[in-house]
Every structure is written in structure tokens, then in C-alpha cells.
Structure 1
Amino acid sequence: MLKKNKPARHLFRQVIASLVPGEGIASPAQEHKGRPQNAARTQPPGQTPQHGRADACTDTHAPEQLIVPICEPTQEDGDHGPLQDQGQFLARQDRWDDLSRRIAEADKSRHNTAHGMPVAELLAHGARSDVVNAVEHALSIGHAGDRRKMIEGVMGLETMCVEHRDDPYLRTLVALAHIDVAWIWRGYSDVMSITVANGQRCAAHFDRAAALLHPLDGVGLDSPFIAAAKSALLAGQHSGTTMQVADDFAALIDLDPDNHRHMRSLGTHMLPRWFGSYAALELEARRTAARTEDIWGAGGYAWVYFDAIALDPEACSRVDIEFFMDGLRDIVSRRPDQEMVNLLASYCAVALRYGETTPSEEIAPRTEIADAADWLIRDHLREIHPLIWAHAAQRFDNNLRIVSTRRFADHGRRDALRFIAGLFRSEIEAGQRVEFSDKGLRVSPD
């Protein structure tokens, strides 16, 4: 136990300075590389958007006739970086009370960014990013053998947690750092090593996170931030019955029904490969739709199946296609912003792309969902958000390592333009000009 006259102040920043080469005490504006995926934002006021033409696509005949505004990656995640930088800055300055207060305020108010990312999670992500990035960096350059060096940053957070033992938000922050590090160990494990050293280290971090979170009750504290952290333990521990997992997610969704990420995660966890079954997936999709009908209409059903369909062909063959399509329409009618339109359009156009090995019984529902990209783009698209399309091509894998955000976004831009050019092939071949703007789609003689 720490003595009151010897607080942990400055210990964290000293540890980070030793772990992260070239890192000092940065201002909140400093660039941070470990941002969550799927970050997107509309064009900032007063800026002229870049226009993408289909000459980036190899399968168009009149590329100069397709004009689509494109948000640059720096504009897409414009509201994420500053929030993560704030969390990072407060951690580096040992201003833990200030950090906890800001996380609590954002959590209680259900404050989300423009496209639905909880502000509390972004602040916490930034606050632990130095520790997590240092572990990943050490593993990437082959320093896994230096055990003490690998855990110094986490132990700095643990020391802080002892000093703030009664603070549930900081306790959760430390647990999330352990979960992040656990996934890093798993990600750097090959088939031979996952069952031995790396697998044991991964499990140890999940166990420590569970111990930290065990005394906390997200529902009792009215905290989606804490409830979501406890749900994040499930994938690492593989414990709990189908009903227990479903009820935990139902409680989380009830705490924050505006956040579609919780419903999507529920669907993934209800797959047979995790904690559920196809019958359980269908049941929870319908239960969620009923509980969130006032916010999403039938959208809750679509959200629960959203990632499950992309991951599991059998789930796609079993979905109630009429219910799902009603859900898509209700989602876009309630959230017509361009982040949501790009998410839904890229999901239908790219994430659900299938090949020759697709089972025949799955092709019909998958094709009908994929065809929804047509009306989503024609009726609702105003601009392209490349990062969203790039993530769709990876089936929205949140554990994906992105070396260059700009190159990653370029892939998304090309996918989006290629698909849109194909969608309007007949118009382009007829010599018409296809132009998207904030006023909608305009097809006219060139």
C-alpha cells in the first residue's frame, strides 16, 4: 500500500518516458496513433471537400463523369483525435481526478461523438494508449522476453489505481488496459506459442481485468462505460451461459440504447462459435428490436444481425429478411447523417460481398441485403467516408492493425468509387454526368 506522503504522482509519466522512445509530456493536441477504428466525421464547415472521380477505378468507361465529395481521413476522425489526446495528456500529467471527472460526466450524460462513439471511451482510450502502445511496440520488435520491461507501464497504472482505489472509473480504466494488453498477446501468438507462454500471459491479463471489474456494477452505477468494460471480458474468458451473456448485453443496451455498437456486439456473442446458437441469435434480435423500438423502429433487429451475418454464412441463411430490410430502412430514416449512410452502404456493398464458395441457401438473403446499397446510395449518399468503406472490406474488424491511416483510407476510397461507378455504369455509358452533393444525387447530360 502506498503511503499518503509518497503519492504515485509522476511515477506514471516516468514509466512512460522510459517505455516510449522520444515521448515527453505532450499537449492535448499531439497526434496519437492508436485510435479506434470506424472513426468518421462530416466535412467541417467552411472547407471544400475533395472530389473523387472514378478514374481511381479500373472498371469504368467515362471516369470524369462521376463526381463524389470525399472526406479526408483527418476530417473523418476529427472529433476523435482531440478527445483521445485529452485523455492522454491528463494521464501524462498525472491529473487522474480530472480525467475521472471528465469520463464520469461524459458517461452520465451519454455524450457521444457525431457518429456515435462514446466520449468516455475515447478519453479512456487516450489515457491508457501510452501503456498499450508501448507493449505492442516492444512485442513488434521482438522484446517479449524482457518480462519486467513489458509490464512496467501496466504496473504504473496499477499503482495509480491503489491510490484511487475507490474510483470506479479509474479502476475500469486500468481493467481496460489489461484487456487491451491481453488482446495484444493473443494477436502476436502463433499456433505453437498461443497454447504456452503467450496464451498464459493473455489469460493472466484477462483475469486481472476481471478481478478489477468484479466489485463494480454498471447498472447500479448507471454507467454504460463500466457495463461495456465488463462485457468486453466475455470474449477473453469464454465463461457464462447463453442466457447470462444475453442478459448482460440486454442490461448494457438498456443503459445506452442509442449506441448501436452494443447491439452489434450482442449479435456476435450470440453466434454458436461464442456463447449462443442461431435460435438464441434470432430471439435476442427480436427482443432487442422490441425494447428499442421507440428509438430504432425495427433497426434493433438489423443491428443484432449486422456483424453476425458478415461473419457467419449460416446466420445469413436464417435471418428474417423482411424484418432485416425494414430495420435498415428504419435506421436510415432515424439517423440520416452521412456517417450512418456510409456505414450501411459499405456494409451492403462491400462487407457482404460473397464468392464462389458461398452456400446456395445463403445467396438469396445475402443478395437482397447487398442490393440495398443501390437505394442507400441513390437516395441518401452525399459524400464518401473512405475509412468506413475500408473497414467494411475488413468486416469491421476492431482488432485490425493499421500501419498507415491514409493508405488504408485510399483502399476504402477506391472500393467506394468502384462500386458507385458500377452502380451508375449505364448512365455513364450513356454520356450522362453523375454528381453527388449536399443537395443529393444529380444525373444530367454531360
Structure 2
Amino acid sequence: MPRPPFQLSDILSRLPVSLPDRLKRRDASTAVAAPASVRAEPAAHYARPEDSLSISICTESDEDTACCALQKEGQFLARQERWQELSDRIAEADQARFTTPGGMPEAELLAYGARADVVNAVEHALNDGQPRDQRQLIDGVMALEAIRKDHRKDPYLTALIALAHIDIGWVWRGPGLEETVSKVHLRRCAAHFERAATLLSGIAPGLPGSAFLAAADCALFAARRAETLHVADAYARLIDLAPQNHRPMRALGLQMLPRCSGSYPALELEARRTASRTQDIWGSGGYTWVYFDALATDSAAGALVDPQFFIDGLKDILAAHPSQDMANLLSAYCAVALGGAQMDGTTPQTPRQEIASAASWLIRDHLREVHPLIWAHAANGFDNSARVTSLRRFSARGQAQAMSFIAQIFRDEIAHGQKIAITPDGLHVTTG
């Protein structure tokens, strides 16, 4: 067989060995953290009143470790061009519904690692300025496309290539939906999404039970408006296939905003529908997850939200998943993304503020260690497209913000000269 014009090994041989920064900021719960050797250090002292606060800092959780290992496995198999083995591995994880401790599908993490080098090469080329050699922008994805010649009937590899096009489309679009983007970049973005849609159109119907393919289909909605009920039903199918994974519920909420394919009444309706369908797993948590990012992104989304339903959902989520990853995510969300730590003891005036005030009991009753990357992502509104130039500084900023916000929660005790120690055993308040 003649050698294809682009061989993926040729492209990857010019790339760094480590996982790209995109993997490290993909999601608070999948972020790659510092080595485990620096795990659970005592918190460093910050400016008063944080000096009166003691809590451990966990730089790598079990969830981080599991996600990183799967991403690296997918990346390794791609670099070795072991495509059939990669496909079999993704198919096995998808069909068995394997997930990480935090509910992240293993199939998605393997696929993300497998395409990361190609996507990262485009991102670096564009971040360094428009390259003179346009081949830098297409060589990687063309190499992936060439793989289809030998695996044309493989739905998982086809979906993997489609997801690479979607990721590259977002690289062309750039971070921030409100930013002005050149027409050239928008055309490139649209072209990649169109190619992804073409690739996915023929495979999803053949595997109706695949959460991996359903997620790939739903990813297309991020770049195009569609009829509200169509989007809602597509996400409902995905949620039913992967109910332990809260990310599709959060994505559904964003898609139900008026700026995307929905409306505020549609957001409320889908939050209640999702809560009903996932009650056996999340209790009222499905309602909370659908509103989660929508409420943080669009303050007007709080017009119809039921704050007590949302807060009941917070409690049910922690009852279902009482991990410190989850406690940090929910605490940072209420304290930072919704501004609960900024209220200075004032009485909530709006439903959004009522939900934000849950930061107090979340931190007092459930937080036992700080996960800095989660807090740093919360300060960015959980915007996965935000560029992170230094993971170390990003993490340090999250740690400083967490300490500051937690100190605000305990401001009354600290003002009376008490010291706060948060340990795995719980909260300890001492005098002197």
C-alpha cells in the first residue's frame, strides 16, 4: 500500500512528549495537577485573616490521577499508531460504561488524549501568530483523515477524527464567545464543524446505545443554533446513557440559554425533566446540574430558578458523591462563580444570592481540603476555553483565592481571635 501523504508519526515526532496545556485546563475535575509527591501539603500562610486558617492543600486527587492516566494512554496509543488497539480500548470503555471515580467516561478521556497532539499543534501555531506555512494548521488533521482509509467502517475512530475537527474548530474560534473574531477564523471554524457533522452523520444511528457517540453528536450544538426540542431530546438521550456524568446536564443548561438554542422557560423545564429522570442517582441534583453553568454564565437565568430546589440538589449531589472533588466544586461554585463569599453576611435579596449563600454551609460542613485548580477554574466561570499560560501560577492563584474566600466564611470567628483548623476529621475552632 502506498504511504499516505501525511503520516501521523511524522507529525507527532515533532511534538513535545508531555501532555499539552489543553488537557490541563479541560475541566476542573479532569485537570492535570502537580506530581503526587506534593499532595496534601499544609496551606501556606497568606495575608491576614488567612493566617488564622489551617487547611490541607491537595494538588492531585484520585480523580485527577485517573483522568491523567487515561489521557496519557490514549496519547501513547496514537503516537504509536496502534489505531485498532485504541479503537478497541475506546469501544470497551464505552460499551461497559467505564467511568472515573468522578463519573467521567473513560472512553472520552482516551479519545481526548489520542487527538490532543494534533489539536495542540494547531493551537500553538495560531497562538504564535498566523504561520507562514499553512501546512502547520492542516498536517495533523490530514494525517488523522488518512487513517480512515484503512478504518472507514470503524465508528470510534471516525468519531475520534470528528472530535478533533470540533476541537480545532474551537481553536480557530478562539476563547470567549463575546470577542470579535475575524471572518477568516470564523470560516475555518465553520469548515471544521461541517466536516465533523459529515463524519458523525453516518455512524451514530448504527450504535444507538453508545454514550461516546451521543456525546460527540451533542458537541456539534456548541457551534450552531438548532430547534430547542431537538437539542433537548439529544441531550436527554445522552444523559440517559451516562446518568452518572454531570457534564452533559451542565452542557444542556448552557444550550437552553437564549443565546444558544433555548429560552429561560426551556431551561427551567429541562432542569425539572432532568431531575425527574435522574432522581434515582442524583435525587434533586439533576435540577442543580442543568442550572449550574447556565446560572453562573447568565445572571438572568435566575429569573425562574427555584432556589430551594437548587439547594436541595446541592445536598443530594453531596449525598450521592461525598468526595472532596465534589465538595470543592460545589463550594467554589457558590463562593466564587456566584459570588457567595462576597456577600459579607448580608441577607440574600435574589434567588441567585440565596443559592450563593450556600457557600457557608458547604465549606463549614463538607470541605476538608482545598483543590486549587477547581477554585481557579471557578474564578474563570468554569470557562474551559480560557487560555492558561502557566499551570503553576494558575494553581497558586486558585489556592490564594480559596484561602481568601474560606477566611471570609469564618470572618466572625477570626475577628474574635479564634483559629480555624479544617482537617479530614472535620472543623475545629479554638481560641488563642
Q: TM-score, normalised by structure 1?
A: 0.88
Instruction: Tell me how far apart the structure 2 counterparts of residues 73 and 46 of structure 1 sit (CA, whole Å).
Output: 9
Q: Could you tell which deviates more after superposition, 38-47 or 250-259?
A: 38-47
Aligned residues: 424
Tell me which of 112, 117, 133 is aligned to 2:99.
112
- Once the two structures are superposed, what CA deviation does each residue of 1:120-179 show, in whole Å capped at 9, x if it has no partner? 111111111111111111111223453333101100000002211111110000001000
Tell me which of 152, 158, 178 is aligned to 1:165.
152
Amino acid at match of 2:136: K
Task: Say if 2:418 is the partner of 1:432.
Answer: yes
Task: Say if 2:229 is the partner of 1:251.
Answer: no
Percent of residue pairs identical: 50
Secondary structure class of the residue paired with 1:443: strand
Deviation, 1:116, is 2.6
Amino acid at match of 2:8: F
Contact preservation (8 Å) 2:254, 2:293: yes
Instruction: Tell me how far apart the structure 2 counterparts of residues 160 and 222 of structure 1 sit (CA, whole Å).
Output: 25
Instruction: Tell me how far apart the structure 1 counterparts of residues 426 and 5 of structure 2 sit (CA, whole Å).
Output: 54
Q: Which runs of 5+ in 2 are unaligned?
A: 343-347
Task: Say if 2:304 is the partner of 1:318.
Answer: yes
Contact preservation (8 Å) 1:10, 1:94: no
Contact preservation (8 Å) 1:42, 1:338: no
Task: Say if 2:73 is the partner of 1:77.
Answer: no
Tell me which of 40, 43, 50 is aligned to 1:52.
43
Tell me which of 333, 341, 365 is aligned to 2:327.
341
Secondary structure class of the residue paired with 1:436: strand
Deviation, 1:367, is 1.5
Tell me which of 141, 149, 162 is aligned to 1:154.
141
Tell me which of 71, 83, 101 is aligned to 1:96.
83
| 1:350-429 superposed matches below 5 A | 350-353=336-339, 363-429=349-415
- Once the two structures are superposed, what CA deviation does each residue of 1:211-230 show, in whole Å capped at 9, x if it has no partner? 00001226844111111111
| 1:218-237 superposed matches below 5 A | 220-237=207-224
Instruction: Tell me how far apart the structure 2 counterparts of residues 339 and 206 of structure 1 sit (CA, whole Å).
Output: 33
Instruction: Tell me how far apart the structure 2 counterparts of residues 129 and 158 of structure 1 sit (CA, whole Å).
Output: 15
Secondary structure class of the residue paired with 1:116: coil
Contact preservation (8 Å) 1:9, 1:94: no
Residue number in structure 2 paired with 1:14? 10
Amino acid at match of 1:348: C
Contact preservation (8 Å) 2:334, 2:340: no
Instruction: Tell me how far apart the structure 1 counterparts of residues 201 and 39 of structure 2 sit (CA, whole Å).
Output: 50
Instruction: Tell me how far apart the structure 2 counterparts of residues 196 and 43 of structure 1 sit (CA, whole Å).
Output: 39
Contact preservation (8 Å) 1:71, 1:384: yes
Deviation, 1:64, is 3.5
Compared CA separation, residues 405 and 193, structure 1 to 2 (3 A): closer
Deviation, 1:40, is 5.9
Secondary structure class of the residue paired with 2:153: coil
Contact preservation (8 Å) 2:340, 2:356: no
Compared CA separation, residues 123 and 174, structure 1 to 2 (3 A): same
Amino acid at match of 1:276: G
Deviation, 1:42, is 11
Instruction: Tell me how far apart the structure 1 counterparts of residues 150 and 7 of structure 2 sit (CA, whole Å).
Output: 12
Secondary structure class of the residue paired with 1:162: coil
Amino acid at match of 1:37: D
- Once the two structures are superposed, what CA deviation does each residue of 1:293-324 show, in whole Å capped at 9, x if it has no partner? 00011111111111111111211122011211
Amino acid at match of 1:394: N
Residue number in structure 1 paired with 2:246? 260
Contact preservation (8 Å) 1:40, 1:339: no
- Once the two structures are superposed, what CA deviation does each residue of 1:272-312 show, in whole Å capped at 9, x if it has no partner? 11101111111111111110000011111111111111111
Compared CA separation, residues 176 and 443, structure 1 to 2 (3 A): same
Residue number in structure 2 paired with 1:287? 273
Contact preservation (8 Å) 1:219, 1:227: no
Task: Say if 2:173 is the partner of 1:186.
Answer: yes
Compared CA separation, residues 169 and 375, structure 1 to 2 (3 A): same
Task: Say if 2:125 is the partner of 1:142.
Answer: no
Contact preservation (8 Å) 1:267, 1:307: yes
Amino acid at match of 1:445: T
Instruction: Tell me how far apart the structure 1 counterparts of residues 329 and 405 of structure 2 sit (CA, whole Å).
Output: 14
Secondary structure class of the residue paired with 1:129: helix
Instruction: Tell me how far apart the structure 1 counterparts of residues 250 and 368 of structure 2 sit (CA, whole Å).
Output: 25
Compared CA separation, residues 146 and 413, structure 1 to 2 (3 A): same
Contact preservation (8 Å) 1:73, 1:405: no
Contact preservation (8 Å) 2:20, 2:117: no
Q: TM-score, normalised by structure 2?
A: 0.91
Instruction: Tell me how far apart the structure 1 counterparts of residues 103 and 390 of structure 2 sit (CA, whole Å).
Output: 24
Instruction: Tell me how far apart the structure 2 counterparts of residues 83 and 32 of structure 1 sit (CA, whole Å).
Output: 14
- Once the two structures are superposed, what CA deviation does each residue of 1:30-87 show, in whole Å capped at 9, x if it has no partner? 444331221369999998621115x32x4x34x4331100012587732222221111
Instruction: Tell me how far apart the structure 2 counterparts of residues 398 and 33 of structure 1 sit (CA, whole Å).
Output: 11
Instruction: Tell me how far apart the structure 2 counterparts of residues 292 and 176 of structure 1 sit (CA, whole Å).
Output: 27
Amino acid at match of 1:370: A
Instruction: Tell me how far apart the structure 2 counterparts of residues 192 and 385 of structure 1 sit (CA, whole Å).
Output: 30
Secondary structure class of the residue paired with 1:67: strand
What is the root-mean-square deviation of aligned Cα atoms in Å? Answer: 2.7
Compared CA separation, residues 319 and 189, structure 1 to 2 (3 A): closer
Tell me which of 18, 21, 37 is aligned to 1:33.
21
Secondary structure class of the residue paired with 1:441: strand
Contact preservation (8 Å) 1:32, 1:85: no
Contact preservation (8 Å) 1:432, 1:443: yes
